[in-house]
Chain A
């Protein structure tokens, strides 16, 4: 491939790519995201490939493994173009039928369609599925259309046109102005206005004119995986955003700091960078504009704290990932002491969109203080697990029930946790809350990177608070005392409460500790660490009190406070639990109700799991 040397050459290439493509040609797009991978989509793809070959259709039918389509719950997923037929839970054994029936004859295979559990109607295309219908997939929607390892797919949907627009028709200041007018705010957690950040970086003095841009892909919040899916599924959109940002702030070197646990993202990003370089979108004299910029990948070392900007930069410099006080922002003195602009993956991916469609269009979407869309990962006790992109301002109810399809097994919704370990738990009374940066913060939680973990009546809120504090205690870098020592003490108190050793005054002590840790910690990890505790105390105080005063876990989760018992009415005496019990704690004759010896029971819950008659009850 010859490097492109002008905007005209880029458009000529695009025309050429499009002319070679026939929109009416059958194309099977298989979701290759991590979720579908785990479900075995690779075997499905292999089976389809073999089948296409066997039926001698290699020239007539195209097969494409794309990035994540979002509806992880129903994987492996596929969309058959041109009719956009949506199949889910596909098995390798379905391959020959899919080719012979759907691709060749146009017949729909009913059993592979999604059935809406509410209306019981079959959905033929993605748009008919309520999970997709209620979304606005501006940033994430292209994932299903492109093969991330083929830059031509990205070019075919208009890729790098924003870059060409910026390089040849806009001054850096105009680019910054456009981003400022769009009111784009950082998607990584802080919600800082992106345009202002770029402006500070551009205006920061740098005698040797060295500046850096960084993409933060150290997505560490448990339950959030939209950044990974963007990098895996559409890496070029992130790269294009970064080049535009680099042009705006005047940087010639960029880094993407990727979490080590994301091997597929590392691979696809590496391929995309190579292809972008070959095509002349990176390295020297980009598109013949005279602007130089290149990007390096840095693999993280597996530390949550490295999602914090100063810790990330320390790690990039080869040092231990400890944060520093931010009296001076990284936009002024960041990596190697130079002005550095750091944005998160999703923020970068929004940039080409804003340039292409304009700040006026973009700022019409969303609410007063939060513009555009946001990708959330909707996980936990929810029917439709997956990644959803919705306009800011949508209510929690719409997300949980409209898109998420409600709570499984007819259980009752209890809370939704947003913002990862820095966020909080919101109760059912706030279900009509519009989701944007400011509303979530007011409610005692935060947007964070966009994890939404749904909890039902079987989730203990004290246990959840302890879970997050344990997480943060392990991930605290240990540099400052309030975070290191304070979180340790909080964990002690919470552990005591969950083990039935809670004392009167513990709640007040947690609140006091929490407010001090918030105030006195060095970085945002400590500064937000007490949120899961404070928000659960705020909304679920009665549960804390039940643990402390009555030595009771209302949700039936905390091991030390529960016992497993057998309901003699329901027990059929099938002996399954007795056979499975690792302690030999269950006795009883065949066809007679069994009994659990509480002395021997270690509360592993195996009997509860194996009983088909719901006869094992938690008291």
Chain B
């Protein structure tokens, strides 16, 4: 299936309805892990909307990324509870370790660094989430250890390792 058709399957699922732009883009993003230009163009033409309107939505909402994303997503929670418990120091350390600013991806495409304004798991704060795994009670000291686990091993092996060690 070519890109245009891939997008069309998604657009058709929502009956090409203009109200569903956000939902369509969310599905497109889960397909490609970001919103490539050709997909935005395909969505706009298939919905019969001006490209600027689709791009407006794609750039307004934080959930969308116009840049390709890394293999792992490292998310630092910056909710108030995490903030007062030292999240800024954790973020600084992640930044230093990965060498990228929030919103960006490492050159080797391994890690994308993101921040989030509260995950609602405040009892565990400060929280670092790598992919879907919560790492609670973080401190700058623990950052390196956690990231190293993801640097060394491919995803599936790592899961087994963690299961064994816990």
- Measured CB to CB, the residues of A under 8 A from B are 34-35, 37-40, 43, 72-73, 75, 219-225, 228-229, 260-262, 298-304, 315-321, 377, 379-381, 385-386, 417, 420, 451, 453, 455, 459, 464, 467-468, 471, 475, 477, 580, 582, 604-606, 609-610
Contacts and interface: CB of A to CB of B under 8 A. Distances in A.
Given A318-B18, A468-B80, 7 more contacts: A38-B134, A38-B136, A222-B83, A228-B120, A300-B63, A380-B84, A381-B85
Interface residues of B, number: 44
B6 to A, nearest CB: 20
B19 A316 contact: yes
A137 B127 CA distance: 28
Contacts, number: 145
**Interface on chain A toward B: helix, strand, loop, or mixed SS?**
mixed
Nearest to A91: B166
Contacts of B64: 301
B26 A301 contact: yes
Nearest to B56: A320
Contacts of B60: 301, 303, 320-321, 477
Interface string B122-145: 111101000000101001110000
A261 B119 contact: yes
A420 B117 CA distance: 11
5 contacts: A225-B121, A299-B22, A318-B17, A321-B60, A605-B89
Contacts of A464: 80, 83-84
A303 B62 contact: yes
Contacts of B89: 604-605
A467 B57 contact: no
B165 to A, nearest CB: 13
A453 B84 contact: yes
A299 B79 contact: no
Looking at B17, B60, B116, B119, which has the most chain A CB atoms within 10 Å of its CB? B60
Nearest to B115: A474
A610 B120 CA distance: 27
Contact of A320 (B57, B79, B125, B141): B57
A171 to B, nearest CB: 33
Interface in B1-50: 17-23, 26
Nearest to B57: A320
A319 B125 CA distance: 34
A385 B70 CA distance: 34
A321 B84 contact: no
Given A315-B22, A604-B89, A609-B141, A380 B57 contact: no
A222 B81 contact: yes
Nearest to B133: A38
A298 B23 contact: yes
Contacts of B92: 604
Contacts of B19: 316-318
Interface in B62-119: 62-64, 78-81, 83-86, 89, 92-93, 96, 116-119
Contacts of B166: 40, 43
Contacts of A72: 121-124
A56 B83 CA distance: 48
B140 A609 contact: yes
A225 B117 CA distance: 12
A475 B116 CA distance: 12
A304 to B, nearest CB: 7
Contacts of A380: 80-81, 84-85, 122
A453 B80 contact: yes
A316 B63 CA distance: 15
A299 B14 CA distance: 14
B121 A302 contact: no
B131 to A, nearest CB: 13
Nearest to A321: B60
A247 to B, nearest CB: 25
Contacts of B120: 34-35, 219, 224-225, 228-229, 262, 377
B57 A38 contact: no
B96 A35 contact: no
